[in-house]
Amino acid sequence: MRLVPRRGGSAPVISVLWLTAAAAAALTPGLLAPGDPSAVEPANRLRPPSWQHLFGTDELGRDLFTRVVHGASISLTAALVATAVGLVLGSALGLLAGFARGWTDTGVMRVVDVLLSIPSLLLSLALIAALGPGVWNVAVAVGLASVAACARIMRSEVLRVRESLFVEAAHAGGARWSRVLLRHVLPNATGPVAALAALEFGAAILAVSALSFLGYGVQPPDPEWGSLVATGRDFLREAWWLALLPGCTVALTVLASNRLARAVRP
Amino acid sequence: MARYVLARLTQAAFVLWAAYTVSFVVLFALPGDPVALMVGPDANVTEEQMAAIRSQYGLDRPLAVQYLAGLAEATRGDLGDSMQARQPVTTAIAESFGPTAKLAGAALVVGTAAGVLLALLAMLAPRPWQRTALLTLPPLGVAVPSFLLGLLLLHLLSFRWQLFPASGDDGWRSLVLPALTMAAPAAGVIAQVLAAGLRQAGREDYMVTARAKGNSRPRAYARHALRNAALPALTMTGLLVGGLLAGSVVVETVFARPGLGRLTTMAVSAQDLALVQGLVLVGAALFVLVNLAVDLLYPLLDPRVATAPRRRAGVRQITAL
């Protein structure tokens, strides 16, 4: 796994910087935006972006930049939970299918094929219909909807590695399965898994923010990127920054995460 | 060929049955009371009234009975009744199908054309920086959330310059902005897959031959490389149709259009489980049908492709890379 890419110049470096800033915003929002995200200032409502208010102010005079920075924590944590759910369950299924082969493999992959035939946003929506709205339900729904894609990629990765020469050599050398798995297969799988994780993270941010935009995630007044866009949508005619700037934050984070996935792909 | 088609039809029926089962497990077998969800926590409804509603929708029967009865009705084309719309699920879906089909069809045409054009232009660009610049666009199309693109188009083309109406569904002018919004991710995916295919095809011996015979570079790419690179892109296009259906949920909300997407958000918000299940089934059926069509098209484009089943890579593996 290499973080410095062979191709693409400075784009991956910028991606890492952006993601670091987003992570900093999520962990210590006060550092980037010392103000209070829900401090209401009616005299200053719907002000366009300026040096004083980088992203402008909303319909209650709250500083939008502060709200976006404080929203990072919910948005990114939800995306992280979704990625973890999808990756852990998907990898487990993929590993099981790839190692067991035979009937287990056929059975697992049939289920995976069926899940892949349902568009993932639609599957998340069905899960939300069953679980009810709320940001954690959204995160779990997005994660469960991505299990199938993860399982498929993991299985093909397992099949690729177990056919490779070094695994055969380790077997020929008399190593037990557990040792082969831990010492040979796992270290060689970190690169693809890291790329997959970055990719899933980007997709999860998109899905979580889309579902929040539709109104199934965080309820106002708590700031979250997707719901900030949803609130801003009502003021699009007179205050474009309310919807577009949080939206651009989502887009840039997804772009950075996808670009990073491409850079770490072995 | 007839045997192949029959095998594929059996497979399609299997996927539909499995999609029904999966959605049943997700929606009905998980703990939770759909009737309590429907009436809401604050509603003033007695336990007897709840029980009456339950028996009206058959929700008081054992799960296995509900499943088998529902499946038997589904094979006859009856997907149950929508609690919210108070009409059969199939009627509700049929009424919303037209506007979404129009929108998704327009988006697919625009997206495919834009994706092919972008990939060809990038390959044929005379300067390396031009190619690099063109190839930054597809990842953008994939990463920009459709609500952002939709609101951006609304802001610029509808509110500021007043070229297109902001919402509603009348005439082609109201179709332009939502179709463009929906087409962007599709174009991004197609351009990425096609550009990779063209790059690989450009290194093949037949391209050297084509150039040696006196074909210009654009002609060699358009006549020889494109045809070879089109196969994976065609597979992706088939996979994208499901994505378009999912995209309609966001796009129809942004542009306040009627359609399947709006029906989906309404059904999920009201926790109208029968309707949600019907919509999931429609999604799976569309996916199955389109991929069947793509598979039958394949041998026409490339006679070497025997009618053997192919394994497809995960959609999103290619989508975002």
User: Between these two residues, B214 and B40, which has the higher pLDDT value?
Assistant: B214
Identity of the residue in B15, B151, B152 whose CB atom sits nearest the CB atom of A114: B15
Beta carbons of B268 and A128 less than 8 Å apart: yes
- Mean per-residue pLDDT of chain B: 81
Taking the CA of residue B154 and the nearest CA in chain A, the distance in Å comes to: 8
Residues above pLDDT 70, as percent of chain A: 96
Lowest mean pLDDT among A18-27, A149-158, B303-312: B303-312
CB A145 within 8 Å of CB A88: no
Does the pLDDT of residue A5 top 50, yes or no? no
CB contact under 8 A, B250 and A237: no
Going by pLDDT thresholds of 50, 70 and 90, the confidence category of residue B34 is: low
- pLDDT at position B30 is 67
Interface contact flag, B246 A121, Cβ < 8 Å = yes
pLDDT at B313 over 80: no
Tell me the mean pLDDT in the region A180-209: 84
The reply to whether residue B148 touches residue A244, judged by beta carbons under 8 angstroms, is yes
pLDDT at B183: 92
Residue bearing tokens 């493999």: A105
Span A42-86, pLDDT tens digits: 777 777 888 877 887 777 778 888 888 888 889 999 999 999 999
Task: Please state the pTM of the whole predicted model.
Answer: 0.85
Share of chain B above pLDDT 70, in %: 88
Helical packing angle, B260-269 and B273-301, nearest 10°: 150
A128 and B CB contact within 8 Å:
yes
Tell me, what's the pLDDT at A7?
Answer: 53
Contacts of A145 (CB under 8 A, 6+ apart): A86, A120, A121, A123, A124, A127, A207
With a CB-CB cutoff of 8 Å, which residues 4-63 of chain A face chain B?
none
Q: Which residues pair with B81 in a beta bridge?
A: B88
CA distance B110 to B116: 10
- pLDDT of A26 over the 70 cut: yes
Band (pLDDT 50/70/90 cuts) for residue B37 is low
Predicted ipTM of the assembly: 0.85
Answer whether B242 sits within 8 Å of A110, measured CB to CB: no
- At A170 the pLDDT is 86
Task: For residue range A136-183, list pLDDT tens digits in order.
Answer: 999 999 999 999 988 888 888 888 887 888 888 888 888 887 888 788
Q: Does A214 touch chain B (CB under 8 A)?
A: yes
Give contacts of B139 with chain A, Cβ < 8 Å. Answer: 255, 258-259
For position B72, what pLDDT does the model report? 81
B15, B23, B314 member nearest A126 (Cβ): B23
Question: Which ranges of chain A does DSSP label H, i.e. alpha helix?
Answer: 11-27, 29-32, 64-100, 102-116, 120-131, 135-145, 147-162, 165-172, 177-179, 186-213, 225-233, 241-264
Residue A8's pLDDT band (cuts 50, 70, 90): low
Give residue-wise pLDDT tens across range B128-168: 888 888 888 888 888 899 999 999 998 888 878 877 877 77
Confidence of residue B306 (pLDDT cuts 50, 70, 90): low
Please tell me if residue A77 touches chain B, with a CB cutoff of 8 Å. no
CB contacts, 8 Å: B27 with chain A: 126, 129-130
- The reported pLDDT for the residue numbered B43 is 63
Q: Average of pLDDT values for A200-225?
A: 88
How many Å lie between the alpha carbon of A180 and the closest alpha carbon of chain B? 27
Phi-psi region of A48 (alpha: psi -120 to 50; beta: other; left: phi over 0): beta
Q: How many cross-chain Cβ pairs, A to B, lie less than 8 Å apart?
A: 172
